[in-house]
Amino acid sequence: RAALFIMLYRDFPVFQTSYQILDALIEIDHMLSNWRHKHLIMVRRMIGMRVGTGNTSGAGYLEGALSKHYIYKDLSGLSTYLIERRRLPQLPEALIRSLGFGF
């Protein structure tokens, strides 16, 4: 819930760093998935459908791993819950004051 709140109200200065961290984690997950896909293609070219070097089923194992193993799958799915900016509920004024920078 906190991650969703941060993504929805990321324009508040206090959430900028948190949002950037969430975005970086999602990007890491995407890059890992991309690496797995490229690794699968390389394995298909090199060993085909034979037993893999880790004594696994080779390309079949990697295909299964490609769709199952996401580190931050829940974070990547947050965009499902995003709503239009104009439809975001207004935050109470006291909360807005506490989210800003005060001196």
**pLDDT, tens digit, 9 for 90 and up, residues 66-91:** 777 767 777 777 776 677 778 888 88
Look up residue 73 and give its two tokens. 């799958």
- What is the value of pTM for the model shown? 0.67
Q: Where are the domains of the chain?
A: 2-99
**pLDDT, tens digit, 9 for 90 and up, residues 31-60:** 988 888 888 888 888 777 777 766 676 777
Could you please report the per-residue DSSP string of 60-73? Answer: HHHHHHHHH--TTH
Q: Would the pLDDT of 21 be above 90?
A: yes
CB 29 within 8 A of CB 72: yes
- Cβ partners under 8 Å of residue 19, min gap 6: 6, 7, 10
CB 75 within 8 A of CB 25: yes
How much is the average pLDDT of 11-16?
A: 85
Angle, to 10 degrees, between the axis of helix 16-46 and the axis of helix 59-68? Answer: 170
